[in-house]
Structure formats: structure tokens, C-alpha cells
Amino acid sequence: MSETTSLPPQPISPLDGRYRAAVAGLGDYLSEAGLNRARVHVEVEWLAYLTEHSLLGGSPMGAEQLASLREWAAQFGQAEIDELAETERVTQHDVKAVEYLVRARLEQQGLGQFAELTHVCCTSEDINNLSYALTVKHSIEQVWIPRFETVIDELTRQAREYQELPMMSRTHGQPATPTTLGKELAVFVHRLRRQLDQIREIPYYGKFSGATGTFAAHLAADPHADWPAISRDFVEGLGLTFNPLTTQIESHDWQAELFTRIAHANRILHNLATDIWSYISIGYFRQIPVEGATGSSTMPHKVNPIRFENAEANLELSNAILDSLAATLVTSRWQRDLTDSSAQRNIGVGIGHSVLALDNIRKGLGQIDAAPEVLASDLDANWEVLGEAIQTVIRAEVTAGRSTISDPYAALKELTRGRRIGQAELIEFVSGLDIGAEAKERLLALTPATYTGVAAALVDRV
């Protein structure tokens, strides 16, 4: 192989390269910088809590000094990122580097007397678990859920638009009892909303109880303080739910529950993508060409359903990571091992592929239109689907004593199974039935396009 010139540093993950714009919002939370910003926030808030409550010998900071310190934490940016990187090269410990960063800031602001309260009574995992809880919480609430809602909103809009548009159902891929296109889209709206409701209910837990969850150092420093109550107050003050009983780590069960629930939502989205792709394939939806876009490099007539194919792949990648995280994070040897540290750094990758899929599905839904003439033609070519209605009416007529037909199912099976029959054959068959006049009139009035039950009305449930 011939020698090549080295490229400048390039991203390995497509989420940080080709698709960066689609997932950019996640970088504020689920990146190394986002994690470090949250760590700084937690360290500063713990210092503020200790001083405001005069704990461990601390006394309240001046209001302006505290406000300035909090503003610095909130404005965490490139200067802090660079300083942390330089410090960690020496400490070989990421959380210790954050502690030194906060200490240095205190000295710069003339608050050196508070330096020893930085990170006091904390194990690294006290800071980490709260930081991960905050970054995951914000990424889901600020990025993932809004993207998920845009898909639900567009599906809801289309369900209402096509509420009464009749469509051939296909069970096992074969023509079946007709429905409406709107009702079929409404099914996905209902499924996705249910998952969203459950995702919103999952709590984000945090612990703040020291090296093995016993508050030992806290009690040694001040045996008179109610440290479990103090820790609960602090954790809840950050907007999290307090976990009172842990080892060194917060047990991560909430993360497993959240990632499992998102993976379930992903699977419903995958089902949506494959269904829409299939409807496009048989012409129920037509794709709206995008100006200047190329459908195929060699076949200029083609408009490929690439948005839905891209979504499929990214949903599968997302679930591979989220399923792995859910399985890995619930186990920690004895009071602590470090498997969760490497695993959690991939949370952004798992959520990122889901966000990318949502972006593709939203765009894909915006580039399709129903083809009523194709749906109508398909219905008109499959009058045999009315066999279900006919045999059900006959059964009711037999029960009511208005018919003596012995085996209605067998009669319709003989007429329709494996055969294409048209309107004329159905009319002839129904006209010769030994049933009441009112029932016969109802059957003769039926068409595949009108045999949709309450499908249109069901859309109103969304």
C-alpha cells in the first residue's frame, strides 16, 4: 500500500462528523465537556449549600460573591475545558481536576478561605452520579422529547388529514378487512404517546452519601448534623430524586429503566419506518421530490425512501447501545467497580442515534403524500374482502331465525378463498342468499371502500 499524507484529526463517529448538525443539541449535555460543566455545577452548589447552612465550619459567602461563582459555573466554556485537560494530564483523575479548577476559581475571586470545603465529604461518584443524572435529564427533556414530539405531532396531523381515506388492510401481507389510512397512523400516535408518558414518569435518582454510602466521613466531621436529611435536601434542590440506600455508586436502576423505555419507543418507531417504507413501495404514499436531490446515481427516475431506511439503521444502532447500557449498569461488584464509568460515556451515542432517527422520520413524513387513487384502485380490485361481512350477517340471520343456511363460513370460503371476484359476483351471490330483506339490502350497499367500520371515528381518540 502506498504511503498517504496524514489527515488532520477527524471524528470517528458519524454523529460527530456527517450527522453533527442533526444531533448538535446533545453535545451541550452528553459530551465530556457537558459532563464536566455539570460536575463544576454540582461542586459549586455543594460549596454554596455548606456555606449557606454554616456546615463544617463554613460561613455564608457574600451574595455578590456567590452570584459571581454561580455565574462562572453557568458560563463554563472553552477556557475551563482547556484548563481541565491540562490539569487532568497531571492528576490522571477527571473529578480531581474539577475540584482543582473550582479551588483555583475561589482563589481568583478572593474566596480562598472556602477552598477546603470544595469536594469535602465527597467521593468522586457523589459528583459523577449527580452530574450524569442532570445531563441525562436535560438531554432527554430538552432534546430527545421535543424531537419525539415533533414526530407524534406530524403523525397526528396526517392521521386527521387521512381520517376517512379508505385503505386496504394487509394482514400477513394479504388483502384483509379495509381500514382508513388515518386510523393506521393513529395507532402509532397512540403507541408512541403511551411510551412518552412513561418516559416522563421515570425519576432521575441521585446519591450523596460518601465512599460506601454510609456518611462515615460526614459523621466524623460533624456528629451532630443529620447528614441523610442534609443530603436529601441537597439532591432534591438540584431537581433530582434522592436515593437513600446505595453503595459507593447510585445503583443506576433508573438509567436502565429509562434506556429500556427509550429502546421500546425506538422499536415502535422502527415499526413505523418499515410500515411507511412498505406503503411507499406499493404506492399508497407518493414521495415529494426534493429540489436538486438525487434519488439514484444511475436511475434518474427514482426517489428512494432513504429517510426511513436511515431511521431504521440508526434505531437499531441506538438500541444496541441502550440495551447494552441497561444490562451493564445494573451490576457493580460489591461496593464499586469501574465498568459503569466507560459505559456511561456512551450514553450520548445511544441517545444520539435515536435523535438522528427521529430527525429522519420527521423529514421523511414531511416528504410524502397519500395517493387516494392508488388506494381506491386496490380496494376495487379486492371485493372478496367483503366475505367476512357477508358470512357474519348470515350467522346473525340464522340466529334470529331469518335464515336456514347451514354453514355460512364454508359457503363464503368456497366463493372467495384464493380467488379474485368482483362486484358483479358478490351482488349475484348476495342476491341469492336466503336472508332477510333488510340484511340483504345492507350487504348489497357495501363496497370495500365503505367497509371500514368505525375506523374514521377511532382517529378522534388521538
Per-residue pLDDT reduced to its tens digit, 77-136: 999 999 999 999 999 999 999 999 999 999 999 999 999 999 999 999 999 999 999 999
- With a cut of 90, say whether residue 303 has pLDDT above it: no
Shared domain for 170 and 212, answered yes or no, is yes
| Grid cell of 19 as nine digits | 450527522
Q: How many residues does the chain have?
A: 462
Examine the fold and report which residue of 325, 343, 372 is the final residue of a domain before the chain moves on: 372
Q: Which is the catalytic residue, given 2, 6, 172, 301?
A: 172
Shared domain for 194 and 268, answered yes or no, is yes
Q: What span, in angstroms and rounded, lies between the C-alpha atoms of 241 and 202? A: 10
- With a cut of 60, say whether residue 232 has pLDDT above it: yes
Q: How many CB atoms lie within 10 A of CB 348?
A: 26
| Grid cell of 209 as nine digits | 452519601
- With a cut of 60, say whether residue 300 has pLDDT above it: no
Answer yes or no: is 295 within a domain: no
CA 56 to each of CA 67, 95, 105, 126: distance values in angstroms, whole numbers, following the listed order = 21, 22, 21, 18
Answer yes or no: is 78 within a domain: yes
Specify the CATH number for the domain of residue 414.
Answer: 1.10.40.30
Specify the CATH number for the domain of residue 182.
Answer: 1.20.200.10
Shared domain for 276 and 234, answered yes or no, is yes
Shared domain for 313 and 421, answered yes or no, is no
Number of domains the chain contains: 3
Q: What percent of the chain has pLDDT over 70?
A: 97
- Give the pLDDT band (50/70/90) at residue 1: very low
Q: Which residues contact 101 (CB under 8 A, 6 or more apart)?
A: 40, 80, 83, 84, 87
b/e sequence 185-209, b meaning 16+ C-beta within 10 Å: bbbbbebbbebbeebeebebbbbbb
| Grid cell of 32 as nine digits | 465530556
Q: Is 169 among the residues known to form the active site?
A: no
CA 341 to each of CA 127, 135, 174, 257, 332: distance values in angstroms, whole numbers, following the listed order = 13, 15, 50, 18, 11
Specify the CATH number for the domain of residue 49.
Answer: 1.10.275.10
More confident residue, 420 or 347: 347
Mean pLDDT (whole number) for 70-78: 97
Answer yes or no: is 8 within a domain: no
| Grid cell of 385 as nine digits | 374482502
Backbone angle region of 21, left / alpha / beta, with phi > 0 → left and psi within -120 to 50 → alpha: alpha
Mean pLDDT (whole number) for 235-239: 98
Residue 415 has a pLDDT of 80
Q: What span, in angstroms and rounded, lies between the C-alpha atoms of 269 and 240? A: 29
Shared domain for 109 and 231, answered yes or no, is no
Q: Which is the catalytic residue, given 54, 59, 281, 296?
A: 296
- With a cut of 80, say whether residue 230 has pLDDT above it: yes
- Give the pLDDT band (50/70/90) at residue 176: very high
Answer yes or no: is 19 within a domain: no
Shared domain for 146 and 274, answered yes or no, is yes
Q: Which domain holds residue 136?
A: 125-289+302-372
Examine the fold and report which residue of 372, 393, 413 is the final residue of a domain before the chain moves on: 372
Shared domain for 355 and 406, answered yes or no, is no
- Give the pLDDT band (50/70/90) at residue 280: very high
Shared domain for 143 and 110, answered yes or no, is no
238 burial (CB, 10 Å; 0-12 / 13-18 / 19+) is buried
Q: Is 296 among the residues known to form the active site?
A: yes
- With a cut of 90, say whether residue 410 has pLDDT above it: no
Answer yes or no: is 6 within a domain: no
Shared domain for 362 and 387, answered yes or no, is no
Answer yes or no: is 3 within a domain: no
Shared domain for 227 and 270, answered yes or no, is yes
Q: Which residues contact 79 (CB under 8 A, 6 or more apart)?
A: none
Answer yes or no: is 37 within a domain: yes
Shared domain for 224 and 153, answered yes or no, is yes
Shared domain for 129 and 218, answered yes or no, is yes
Answer yes or no: is 4 within a domain: no
Examine the fold and report which residue of 372, 399, 415 is the final residue of a domain before the chain moves on: 372
- Give the pLDDT band (50/70/90) at residue 412: confident
Mean pLDDT (whole number) for 9-35: 93
Q: What span, in angstroms and rounded, lies between the C-alpha atoms of 254 and 249? A: 13
